[in-house]
Structure 1
Amino acid sequence: MTGPGAAPLTLPVDEITVRVLAAPLRERVPMSFSALTARRTVLVTLRSGDLYGTGESWVNYPEWGWRERLATLDGIRPHVLGADAADPPALMAALAARLHGVARQWGAPGPLWQALSGIDMAAWDLLGKARRAPLATLLAERAGHRGPLPAVVPAYGSGVGPTDVELLTERALERGLGAVKIKVGFTEETDLATVRAVRAVAGPDLPVFADANQAWDVPTAERMCALLGAYGIEWFEEPLAEDRPEELAELARRTGIRLAGGENVYGAEACAAYAALPGFAHLQPDPAKTMGVSMSDAAGRLPGSARLSPHCYGAAPCLASSVHLVAAAPRPGLVELDLRPNPLRTDIAAGPALTADGTLTVPTAPGLGLRYDPEAVDRFTDYRTPSTETEPLPC
């Protein structure tokens, strides 16, 4: 409601516009499971009246994922048009309940969650514009918290290794970031070379995290956690496949390591099994991929001691959403800031700013608080849905 006695706010969705943005990479970025050849994202814009809200749907992998996303969003479109976006969690829950039977038969719950995440993020941005309130304030108010929220949130640098290790570590230090995350899950020799190079540049005291991208089985993870742990690794992210929490619990019991994960766990309900695991220190839902904003926020409010540290390897909307989520979380963690160049994060919009002490400012403008550069958006646009009206900008 907008005031005492006012009618409840409604935001019927009148139009959905989808843009695929792409920025080719000069060099491939190796991962334990594949390699990144281009930065890509899908922007989803919802219009209600003269208001627009824009979200992001993750399409890093596979390389043809953006084509699937267009088809999925086109299939979802009839279920969203005319729906009320004024209660994004209710909209997200209704869409998930309606479509997950199809997703199970299709064998593709992940792509569906990724598409719904973009719609959910756009709905929150739209609601923020209508309420003239930043996302963090909306999330805190929904949880019953009305006190002041932080102006900045802590960040760490990610994407270090297996290439450009020294350069990226130096970049993190220059930017004042208080921790770095290394990519592991390659060979034992490569993984040890990465952590040794980080320590050679940063010294023994910088907090270092390790991300294996689900590359190991239990015996390999036990051995590698011991070898890498000798260099002071503070948490191991996705050391095992994320669909077997019982194996993660066993690994933590055997090794005593602190665990992090969640970027491949779909839905807040599934996240509960991980939040309850002993040694699980950081929940990492991805607001553009696994849960949208609504369920990422719900995951951060699950019982337990795990902190909310969203996974963020996308564009500007994902980063802004992550900052707002951490600012509003009851157990705030860290925001992930990829150290490799990504113009889809840095060039298409102005939003959270990195301070001299390695924190990110929480936007105070309505919704996600992003100010888009239309020329940059157009420059990186590979595809846009035909519009029956004036082509809207993602703002």
Structure 2
Amino acid sequence: MTASSPVSGLLSSPGTAPSPGTAREPSPAPLTLPVDEITVRVLAVPLRERVPMSFSSLTARRTVLVTLRSGDLYGTGESWVNHPDWGWRERLATLDGIRPHVLGADAADPPALMTDLAARLHGVARQWGAPGPLWQALSGIDMAAWDLLGQARRAPLATLLAERAGHRGPLPAAVPAYGSGVGPTDVTRLTERALEQGLGAVKIKVGFGEETDLATVREVRAVAGPDLPVFADANQAWDLPTAERMCGLLGAFGIEWFEEPLAEDRPAELAELARRTGVRLAGGENVYGAEACAGYAALPGLAHFQPDPAKTAGVSMSDTAGRRPGTARLSPHCYSAAPGLASGVQLVAAAPRPGLVELDLRPNPLRTGIATGPRLTSGGTLTVPAGPGLGLDYDPGAVDRFTTYRTTSTETEPLPC
């Protein structure tokens, strides 16, 4: 799971101009990273208590790790499979179907690889009626490709993203974070945890009915006082009239942004909600595809755009969306494992309009126990790993303990019909 040293000869230092009369050194060959092997792992940790959501509940922490090998270099990404409970089975099948298009492909230009895969598979996803699972699988491959490129270039992801955008100045050593997942249960305990960790804001879960939602925000304010910034996430639970009413009721408690108050495939209604209420909106974790991301990022009232690099857009499209003209800050969604969090930290560090990184306050061994990466400081920021790629140092023993399924393939034959 850990990356070895870069392949000898792939990297070259900038040279000096040759002296007159001397032979000019040949230009170094462009970097190529042909994908020789794909390893897919399903990791799972059962939960002692269900975590309620407005639409369902979480019964286990799960993720799918996708590792690409090129020569003796490895890059690992993550594909989000929190919902539904059987999502990991679908992800295995989808990644197996995508496998022939990835093996042998060049991962040295991850955005180009992502664009090519999306173009090849768009028609399949349309006929299948499942763009979400496809993008979730592609996000894992894209993240792995960026990690692989970082190993080859010996550079952190944030540096690669900034250089690609033409920025070569210093990048931040840490980025601001907020605590999420507060409510409708364990409100006091989780709010106290956020304060103890020095986090500068918390996000509450709403969408459980007026009485429960108001009880959550009142309890947070009783613990944290009137000045702590509080955000509210409805997970697309409301229709427009309900959202307008709840934004007014909860807004009286100083909510700074409302995340996914409406279904994310109804941008016109979101724009209307912003016009009627003047609230600041956040969202993007369920917006799939470049065109949809571009439209969503331009919504009036959108204060924070929240693509998920493990779910909806990979690293490539998350970075592109964060660089579009506008005022929305890039605050990636993260409710997954270590690679997803590390990607979010690196993306914010490189963003022209950096926002906040989401840090789930509930226990998650897949985020904290399988690798060493971003570190939470006493000031409520997350350090940006300086190692190559995502900057994660994996614990192979921990990864093995949580692995429930693993497959490695070097074969390019497609699945039988």
2:410 & 2:128 partners in 1: Cα distance?
A: 31
Aligned to 2:238: 216
2:294 to 254, 268, 272: 272
Aligned to 1:392: none
1:275 & 1:42 partners in 2: Cα distance?
A: 27
What's the CA shift for 1:269?
Answer: 2.4
Contact 2:44–2:402 (CA<8 Å) still a contact in 1?
yes
1:237-280 residue CA offsets vs partner (Å, 9 max, x unmatched): 00000001100010001001000000000123212212222211
SS of match in other structure, 1:120: helix
2:362 to 340, 343, 365: 340
Q: Does 1:114 align with 2:114?
A: no
Q: Does 1:173 align with 2:195?
A: yes
Aligned to 2:57: 35
Task: Provide the TM-score with structure 2 as the length reference.
Answer: 0.92
Aligned to 1:360: 382
2:68 & 2:193 partners in 1: Cα distance?
A: 37
1:176-200 residue CA offsets vs partner (Å, 9 max, x unmatched): 0000000000110000000000000
State the number of aligned residues: 389
1:10 to 20, 32, 50: 32
Contact 2:37–2:410 (CA<8 Å) still a contact in 1?
no
Aligned to 1:393: none
Aligned to 1:292: 314
2:298 & 2:78 partners in 1: Cα distance?
A: 29
1:388 & 1:17 partners in 2: Cα distance?
A: 9
Contact 2:38–2:408 (CA<8 Å) still a contact in 1?
no
1:201-253 residue CA offsets vs partner (Å, 9 max, x unmatched): 00000000000000000000000000000000000000000001100010001
What's the CA shift for 1:65?
Answer: 0.2
Aligned to 1:144: 166
Aligned to 2:117: 95
| Residues 117-132 of structure 1 mapped to structure 2, 5 A cutoff | 117-132=139-154
SS of match in other structure, 2:166: coil
Aligned to 2:275: 253
Q: Does 1:57 align with 2:79?
A: yes
1:2 & 1:209 partners in 2: Cα distance?
A: 47
SS of match in other structure, 2:144: helix
2:269 & 2:111 partners in 1: Cα distance?
A: 31
What CA RMSD, in Å, does the superposition of the two structures yield over aligned residues? 1.0
2:408 & 2:136 partners in 1: Cα distance?
A: 22
2:329 to 304, 307, 311: 307
Runs of 4+ in structure 1 over 3 Å off: 1-4, 386-389
Q: Does 1:229 align with 2:251?
A: yes
Mark the runs of 5 or more structure 1 residues left unpaired by the alignment: 390-395
Q: Which amino acid aligns with 1:278?
A: P
1:110-151 residue CA offsets vs partner (Å, 9 max, x unmatched): 000000000000000000000000000000000000000000
**Percent pairwise identity:** 88
**Structure 1's 245 and 381: CA in aligned 2 closer, same or farther, altered over 3 A?**
same
Contact 2:172–2:384 (CA<8 Å) still a contact in 1?
yes
2:179 to 118, 141, 157: 157
Larger radius of gyration: 2
Aligned to 2:228: 206
2:43 to 7, 21, 24: 21
Aligned to 2:209: 187
SS of match in other structure, 2:90: helix
Aligned to 2:338: 316
SS of match in other structure, 1:385: strand
Q: Which amino acid aligns with 1:2?
A: S
Mark the runs of 5 or more structure 2 residues left unpaired by the alignment: 1-10, 15-26, 412-417
SS of match in other structure, 1:369: coil
Contact 1:42–1:56 (CA<8 Å) still a contact in 2?
yes
Q: Which amino acid aligns with 2:292?
A: A
Aligned to 1:75: 97
What's the CA shift for 1:386?
Answer: 4.4
Contact 1:2–1:131 (CA<8 Å) still a contact in 2?
no
Q: Which amino acid aligns with 1:230?
A: A
What's the CA shift for 1:3?
Answer: 4.1
Contact 1:235–1:260 (CA<8 Å) still a contact in 2?
yes
Aligned to 2:391: 369
**Structure 1's 183 and 80: CA in aligned 2 closer, same or farther, altered over 3 A?**
same
Contact 2:63–2:336 (CA<8 Å) still a contact in 1?
yes
2:363 & 2:254 partners in 1: Cα distance?
A: 27
Q: Which amino acid aligns with 2:197?
A: R
Task: Provide the TM-score with structure 1 as the length reference.
Answer: 0.97
